[in-house]
């Protein structure tokens, strides 16, 4: 009988040979990734019963897949949520191909994600932005996948779909997004500048801090978020249609051929 460990070693060697390059916009270069394994594909099925408001389980599972399959471990936690889109698009292409079906306003459309992948090659990640309002200085950034992952792990993992009102859900989502986009906060009192050391706080405490910032700061954060969301919306569309048909990267994206 052939030794199972020898077979698995051989399979892993073949997996390395079948690895592929993915263009990472924030790095402006390719990074090599391993193909999706059957075990990882199985883990995606666990997301079918996900928290439908925040997709917590899907965010956690896909982060783990990216981390396990990336050959450059030192870059992972600096990858942005826009890089995440690029990676997941390419993993989908390599696993199930480029053709997808999208339901939009009771109509079903078929198309290809190839144009979305091509858009990634020219994608410019927004630069960090520093704002100063009413003696508060805030540095904004495109969220990293590590921050996105840690927020879901800390605040929502294991929770059922929230029973909050629509207004409460919107408020929570806005604060969570702001929480991920803030890199640091300083309080300026005359000549004294206090570094809040924002990244040392728990996410619950970060949200409390954000709730106490001047309202104008939140307007600036939302303006910065609009730019990120607009890039995301541009990428996640079927370009064959006029106007283009939007699609999203959810668990179904990896389960339906």
Question: With contact defined as beta carbons under 8 Å apart, do 105 and 252 qualify?
Answer: no
Which of 220, 171, 212 lies closest to 198, judged by CA? Answer: 212
pLDDT, residue 7, reads 63
Q: Left, alpha or beta for 110 (phi > 0: left; psi -120 to 50: alpha)?
A: beta
Q: What is the pLDDT along the chain (257 residues), one digit of tens a residue?
A: 667 666 666 666 656 667 899 999 999 999 999 999 989 999 999 888 887 778 999 999 999 999 999 999 999 999 999 999 999 999 999 999 999 999 887 899 999 999 999 999 999 999 999 999 999 999 999 999 999 999 999 998 877 666 777 788 888 889 999 999 999 999 999 889 999 999 999 999 999 999 999 999 999 999 999 999 999 999 999 999 999 999 999 999 998 75
Longest alpha-carbon distance in the chain: 78
Q: What's the pTM?
A: 0.91
Which of 222, 236, 212, 211 lies closest to 181, judged by CA? Answer: 222
- Spatial distance between the Cα atoms of 218 and 211, rounded to a whole number of angstroms: 9
pLDDT, residue 140, reads 98
Strand, coil or helix: what is 161?
coil
- Spatial distance between the Cα atoms of 79 and 42, rounded to a whole number of angstroms: 25
């Amino acid at each position: 009988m052939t030794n199972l460990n020898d077979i698995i070693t051989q399979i892993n060697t073949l997996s390395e040979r079948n690895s592929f390059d993915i263009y990472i916009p924030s790095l402006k270069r390719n990074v090599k990734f391993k193909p999706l394994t059957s075990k990882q594909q199985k883990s995606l099925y666990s997301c079918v019963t996900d928290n439908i408001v925040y997709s917590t389980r899907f965010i956690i599972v896909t982060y783990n897949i990216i981390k396990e399959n990336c050959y450059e471990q030192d870059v992972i936690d600096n990858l942005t949520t826009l890089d995440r889109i690029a990676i997941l698009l390419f993993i989908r292409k390599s696993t199930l191909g480029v053709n997808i079906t999208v339901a939009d306003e009771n109509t079903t459309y078929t198309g290809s994600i190839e144009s979305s992948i091509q858009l990634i090659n020219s994608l410019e990640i927004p630069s960090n932005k520093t704002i100063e309002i009413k003696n508060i200085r805030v540095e904004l950034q495109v969220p990293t996948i590590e921050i996105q992952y840690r927020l879901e792990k800390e605040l929502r993992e294991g929770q059922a779909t929230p029973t909050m009102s629509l207004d409460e859900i919107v408020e929570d989502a806005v604060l969570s997004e702001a929480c991920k986009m803030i890199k640091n906060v300083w309080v300026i009192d005359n000549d004294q500048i206090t570094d809040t050391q924002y990244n040392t706080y728990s996410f619950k405490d970060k949200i409390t801090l954000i709730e106490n910032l001047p309202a104008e700061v939140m307007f600036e954060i939302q303006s910065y978020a609009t730019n990120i969301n607009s890039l995301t919306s541009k990428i996640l569309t079927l370009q064959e249609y006029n106007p283009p048909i939007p699609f999203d990267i959810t668990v179904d994206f990896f389960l339906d051929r």
